[in-house]
Amino acid sequence: MATIIITLPDGSKFKAKKGIKPIDIAKKLLGSAFAKKALVALVNGELWDLNRAIEEDAKIKILTYDDEEAIVVLRHSCAHVLAQAVKRLYPDVKLGIGPAIENGFFYDFDKKEAFTPSDLKRIEAEMKKIIKADYKFERKEISKEEAKKLFADEPYKLELIDEMEEPISVYKDGEFIDLCKGPHIPSTGMIKAFKLMKTAGAYWKGKAENPQLQRIYGVAFKDEKELKKYLSLLEEAEKRDHRKIGKELDLFSMHPEGPGFPFFHPKGMIVINEILKYWREEHEKEGYSEVKTPIILSKSLWEQSGHWEHYKENMYFTKIDGRDFAIKPMNCPGSILIYKERVHSYRELPLRWAELGLVHRHELSGVLSGLFRVRAFTQDDAHIYCMPEQIEKEVIKIIKLTERIYSAFGFKYEVELSTKPEKAMGTAKQWHEAETALKNALEKCGIKYKINPGEGAFYGPKIDFHVKDALGRKWQCGTIQLDFQMPERFDLSYEGKDGKRHRVVMLHRTVLGSLERFLGVLLEHFAGKLPLWIAPEQIRVITVSDKVKNYAEKVYKELKKHGFRVMLDDRAATVQYKIRDAQLQKIPYMVVIGEKEEKTKKIAVRTRENKVKFGVELDKFIGALKKEIKERKVELEAI
């Protein structure tokens, strides 16, 4: 019998029979108790079924419920169980696809009638039966011809088979067979904790011209404890929903007269303007100048930029004087027209031009979601024109600026480097140079990053910043995009030391990303309890009775004089009611005035979290407030 060499994670090696299975290695070396927890293996870096034979020398690692890669495989197996349950209950349903996703899985189905909440309960119950039956997941490789016979009644599977190369792998558990690359966990009984969550419409292969299918979403975790923790997190997220908070705090609204176009109320504009005030201060420190470009520009400009070819399905169009125009989805072509107004010397570079540009992008109505997915938004854009040798230094400066701004809001973040997409402009050499420059900058800043293959912009690779909120959720906000293509298309140059023209390099970047989306993230991160410096109402002066109204007015006017956003509540209501109302409005500080405060000429201060301090001197309180605002503290510290 031929032998192969198996290498374990600790570097130790041993000889094994060719065709040995990872499950046998787990039982032999790690014991049957460990093998019962094993879900999948890594064989030469590839995820591998525990019961799939190894035919060549291999480095192997056995993964269990404690490995995230294994839980992803478990979630994919759960998607198969979902499809199996649906086919049992609704035999005429046609199957789409069912991958694992973050925290769970989904499967797409072609069914005439819509799935109802009661259907989901039935399906979930059937899934539990399949899990209890503990069917083995069995892999088999077949020819295209065999696959077409096997899935003759499944039109979506047949379409996928036509796109595949032989051999084609299928997986069987119980009576159910599905087209799948794999791998899977050993058996259905190893699924310990799952729940079906919702249904949604989804176009086949994500293309609007294809049939719309019904997608069932579910979540799955290694055990019930993790599932309960996640469901609890969802409950908290629902309480923090920025749409709910925006309505309660009178910040913004959405209307059917402008679907996907947010309406900001006076209080919402206070928050936005405070964010932008800080944004402008930081950009001024970094040597940025601010520009403004029109939102409607000619079709010819968008053809020259490449957006017409690569992005027109997401754009809005209009005609002016018989000519075709587009509403801008991006700010860069407008900035380029300013750059081209005159010849620039190497002595001027880098030029850093920032723009709070209103852009419009056509999003499908089904994906619109409060401020998170809109059709009109303000990008805190900037375009940096520099020489090739300045790229790395400029990217490092942007990274540090981004880090500073996120810290002011109490955000931590993760970074991804997105590389050349399938549809891209430029040569392989240009893309390699661009990707290397971004990698070098990240590494010099000591930032860990994840490679996101094929997700770059069509004109260049990019660095994406994902901020983490109070619930640990990640939101894509800032981005840095290195662009050799626009300068070529628009013949952008500078005059070098040698007096000759040289090609300029362009950096596109945002920090907040979409101002609207960033506001939504902020509201959910703070659960509406915004820091003092951006709160629309910072202080509310509350009277205990009409007897102290005069002193309360003096306190109110003094606070107003010092520039605070303050209101006076002297309504004929109980003090408890007025305090509760201020807390519901998430107002950072309440100044409560009673007879004792009037007599001592001092104040009682209460935070929205019910921290109370009596006998506070007004001047000292004002000084503490100013310090808290100046330092842009995230926590309330004035008492």
In three-state secondary structure terms, 36 is: helix
Pairing verdict, β 566-569 and 539-543: parallel
Q: pLDDT tens, 99-150?
A: 999 899 999 999 999 999 999 999 999 999 999 999 999 999 999 999 999 9
Chain Cα centroid distance, residue 91: 37
pLDDT tops 90 at residue 27: no
Which of the following is catalytic: 108, 119, 381, 464? 381
- CA 527 to CA 637: how far, in whole Å? 18
> Is residue 85 located within the same domain as residue 30?
no
Q: Which residues pair with 509 in a beta bridge?
A: 382, 480
Does residue 356 sit within a domain?
Answer: yes
In a domain, 616, yes or no: yes
pLDDT for position 585: 96
**What's 604's domain CATH number?**
3.40.50.800
Residue 407 lies in a domain: yes
Q: What's the rounded Cα separation, in Å, for the pair 281 and 187? A: 59
Active site residue 332: yes
pLDDT digits (tens, 9 = 90+) for 499-524: 999 999 999 999 999 999 999 999 99
Q: Do 234 and 311 fall within a single domain?
A: no
DSSP 8-state assignment for residue 114: P
In this structure, the answer to whether residues 560 and 419 fall within a common structural domain is no
Tell me the per-residue pLDDT of 71-89, one tens digit each, with 9 for 90 and over: 999 999 999 999 999 999 9
Which DSSP letter does residue 616 get? E
Distance between CA atoms of residues 583 and 249, nearest Å: 11
- Looking at the structure, tell me whether residues 128 and 198 fall in a common domain: yes
- The 8-class DSSP code of residue 30 comes to I
- We report the CATH number of the domain holding residue 115 as 3.30.980.10
Domain termination site, one of 455, 490, 525: 525
Q: Which of 84, 214, 379, 485 is catalytic?
A: 379
Are 168 and 116 in a shared domain? yes
Q: Are residues 336 and 484 in the same domain?
A: yes
Percent of the chain surpassing pLDDT 90: 83
pLDDT, tens digit (0-9, with 9 covering 90-100), for 304-347: 988 888 788 889 999 999 999 999 999 999 999 999 999 999 99
Considering the domain architecture, whether residues 34 and 98 belong to the same structural domain is answered as: no
Could you give the number of structural domains in the chain?
Answer: 4
How far is Cα 638 from Cα 621, in angstroms, rounded to an integer?
7
Catalytic member of 180, 332, 386, 477: 332
User: Edge-to-edge strand order for the sheet containing 58-64?
Assistant: 13-17, 3-7, 58-64, 38-43, 46-48
Distance CA 137, CA 51 (A): 9
* Residue 554: active-site member: no
Tell which of 238, 271, 301 closes a domain. 238
Residue 78 annotated in active site: no
Domain boundary, last residue among 221, 238, 255 = 238
Count of alpha carbons within 13 Å of 611, Cβ hemisphere only? 9
508 is catalytic: yes
Residue 191 within a domain: yes
**Same domain assignment for residues 397 and 460:** yes
Same domain, 357 and 412: yes
Residue 370 has pLDDT above 80, yes or no: yes
For the chain, percent of residues with pLDDT exceeding 70:
100
What CATH number does residue 39 fall under? 3.10.20.30
Catalytic residue among 240, 242, 361, 540: 361
Per-residue pLDDT tens for 535-593? 999 999 999 999 999 999 999 999 999 999 999 999 999 999 999 999 999 999 999 99
Instruction: For residue 507, count CB atoms less than 10 angstroms from its CB and return exposed for 0-12, middle for 13-18, buried for 19 or more.
Output: buried
How many residues does this entry show for the chain? 639
- The yes-or-no answer on residue 255 being catalytic is no
**Annotated catalytic residue: which of 462, 517, 586, 602?**
462
Long-range Cβ contacts of 374-378 (<8 Å, 24+ apart): 374/260, 374/261, 374/262, 374/514, 374/516, 374/517, 375/259, 375/260, 375/261, 376/260, 376/261, 376/262, 377/514, 377/515, 377/516, 377/517, 378/514, 378/515, 378/516
Cis amide leading into 9 (omega within 30): no
Q: Which of 215, 360, 373, 508 is catalytic?
A: 508
The domain that contains 486 carries what CATH number? 3.30.930.10
Residue 300 lies in a domain: yes
Considering the chain, what is the average pLDDT of its residues?
94
For the segment 283-298, the average pLDDT, to the nearest whole number, is 96
| Known catalytic residue at 386 | no
**Does 1 score more than 70 pLDDT?**
no
* pLDDT value, residue 368: 82
Q: pLDDT band at 34, cuts 50/70/90?
A: confident
Active site includes 379?
yes
Cβ 465 vs Cβ 477: under 8 Å: yes
Q: Does residue 270 sit within a domain?
A: no
Task: For residue 485, tell me if it sits in a domain.
Answer: yes
Q: What is the mean pLDDT of residues 470-494?
A: 90
Q: Check whether residue 374 and residue 510 sit in a common domain.
A: yes
What does the pLDDT look like over 407-421, one tens digit per residue? 999 999 999 999 998
The answer to whether residues 484 and 605 belong to one domain is: no
Q: Report the DSSP pairing between strands 376-386 and 505-514.
A: antiparallel
Residue 116 CB partners (closer than 8 Å, separation 6+):
none
Q: Which of 383, 420, 525, 578 is catalytic?
A: 383
Do 180 and 86 share a structural domain?
Answer: yes
pLDDT tens digits, one per residue of 194-245? 999 999 999 999 888 999 999 999 999 999 999 999 999 889 988 999 999 9
Residue 167 lies in a domain: yes
CB contact at 8 A, 251 and 245: yes
Host domain of residue 40: 3-64
Distance of CA 80 to the CA centre of its chain: 27
Residue 369 has pLDDT above 70, yes or no: yes
The answer, yes or no, to whether the previous bond of 588 is cis (omega within 30 of 0) is no
